[in-house]
Amino acid sequence: MTAKVITANWGRPDVVSLEGYRAEGGYGGLRAALERTPAEVIETVKASGLRGRGGAGFPTGVKMSFVPQDTGKPTYVVANFDESEPGTFKDRELIEREPHQFLEGLAIAAYAIGSHEAYVYCRGEFLHPGRMLARAIAEAYGAGIFGPSVLGSGYELNVVLHRGAGAYICGEETALLSSLEGYRGQPRLRPPFPAVEGLYGSPTLINNVETLCNVPHILRNGPEWYASIGPEKSPGTKVFSVSGKVERPGNYEVPMGTPLRTLLEAHAGGILGGRRLKAWTPGGSSTPMLTDEHLDVALDFESVAAAGSLLGTGAIIVMDETDCIVEATRRLFRFYAHESCGKCTPCREGTWWGNRVLDRIEAGYGRPEDLPLLDDLGRNILFRAFCALADGAVSPIQSSLRYFRDEYEAHIAERRCPISGRGPEAGARTELERGVSAPVEVTS
């Protein structure tokens, strides 16, 4: 098995501090970067084949090369630490355990694009990880890593920690920029892309935390070493967040392309209670769910796409045979109704109405025509809104209807949830369920 890269030090509590991190060779990657020209640093990252770990998988070095450095405007680096995709918890742990690894990657990225001002957009609810980061930033200033002369090189870099305030949409990069500038976190039209016109209208590089954590290792060990890990088109390791019905939920770093079966059995301890896998998401709630037929799918960008889903953030939520797919879908879809920023009608209205239809099916009031209605709803949201939040909302609906249509039909035919047995006759347990006890008239 390939050694771990960005979680290799997780067993060592001392790497939380700058001293401990330096004892492990920390900031050696930044030193190596400063000895090269920014263009050489970008070439190194390009040659490694590293792809963004925030969900989209865009090549990181190419993204860096898209930032023009000769516009006369300042350039900015913004780190996306707004980790909110349901099921995803890797960035939080990366920061809690080794904040300097991330800060080193941030500094290298800033140097590569000639930026003297870096921002970290930290999810508001991450009170404790944000404090750890604030302390690590202060430590780095104190040690001359940030400030007027990075490691004595004469290169100036300042880092500002900015905390969000509870909005999933701010993980979308243009919404993040709106939020960072002090506006409602609503997405912007692209083009212009942030690389050209980002923060304050200036060229901006936006990277996910996990992506940046990889960068120091690439500078330290060379791009060939990195490219040799995992499959050719998705090189490197990936931190998978495994949660739900497994014996040992947690973050596991494995080479890209590791099959789900290995991840579940060799790392997460198998399905909870020895039960059977029913469904799973490869990359959080906005990636289409897959089933036990896909146990041998290799977890990399290409293979998961070929299986009909997306690698996304690598957040694997596991459901077993005792879990109701309609209930799971309803809960995931409700998230999007809550988090829709309201800008686009298909997303704002579609998620709200879809939610009511799913509520009534789960509560035992579904109608046979509700399933074509949900199909239609999905088609009318997908690719019809401004940003990917709407597309993500459709994923659980379309994928659950594809693989578990019979379970929806059973809900409607039996007028109750066939898994929990709950229905109008069985007595609704919560106010929410009681609140939908009268059928809602929705027609297509």
Partner 1 sequence: MGVLSPELRATAEGIKARYPAGRERAAIMPLLYLVQSVEGCVTEEGLREVGELLGITTAEVEAVASFYTMVRLRPTGRHVVSVCTNLSCALRGAKDVYEAAHRATGIVHGGELSEDGVFTVHEEECLGACDAAPVVQIDFANHDRVTPERMTELIDALRRGEIPQPSRGEAPEDFRHASRILAGLEDPGRGDGP
Residues that bind partner 1 (CB under 8 A): 83-89, 91-92, 96, 117, 123-128, 130-132, 134-135, 137-138, 141, 158-168, 179-185, 200, 241-245, 249-251, 285, 315, 317-319, 323, 327-328, 331-332, 335, 338-339, 341, 430-432
Q: Which is nearer to partner 1, 110 or 229 (CB)?
A: 110
How many other CB atoms are there within 10 angstroms of residue 429's CB atom?
A: 10
Q: Which is nearer to partner 1, 165 or 306 (CB)?
A: 165
Q: At its nearest, how many Å lie between partner 1 and the CB of residue 240?
A: 11
Kindly state the helix (H) or strand (E) to which residue 318 belongs, with its residue range: strand 315-320
What Cα–Cα distance (Å) separates residue 216 from each residue in 8, 77, 101, 310?
Answer: 13, 16, 7, 27
Q: At its nearest, how many Å lie between partner 1 and the CB of residue 46?
A: 30
E strands along 28-169, which residues? 76-81, 117-122, 158-163
**DSSP per-residue codes, 247-309:** SS-EEEEEETTEEHHHIIIIIS-SBGGG--EEEEESSSTTS--EEGGGTT-EESHHHHHHTTS
CA-to-CA distance for 201 and 199, rounded, in angstroms?
Answer: 5
Q: At its nearest, how many Å lie between partner 1 and the CB of residue 411?
A: 17
Q: At its nearest, how many Å lie between partner 1 and the CB of residue 96?
A: 7
Q: Which is nearer to partner 1, 113 or 279 (CB)?
A: 279
Q: Which is nearer to partner 1, 117 or 226 (CB)?
A: 117
Q: Tokens for 285?
A: 């709630």
Q: Which is nearer to partner 1, 132 or 151 (CB)?
A: 132
Determine phi and psi for 77, rounding to 5 degrees.
-110, 130
Q: At its nearest, how many Å lie between partner 1 and the CB of residue 250?
A: 5
Q: Which is nearer to partner 1, 222 or 250 (CB)?
A: 250
- For 295, counting Cβ atoms within 10 Å of its Cβ (0-12 exposed, 13-18 middle, 19+ buried), the class is middle
Three-state DSSP class for 159?
strand
């007595």: which residue's tokens? 427
Q: At its nearest, how many Å lie between partner 1 and the CB of residue 208?
A: 13
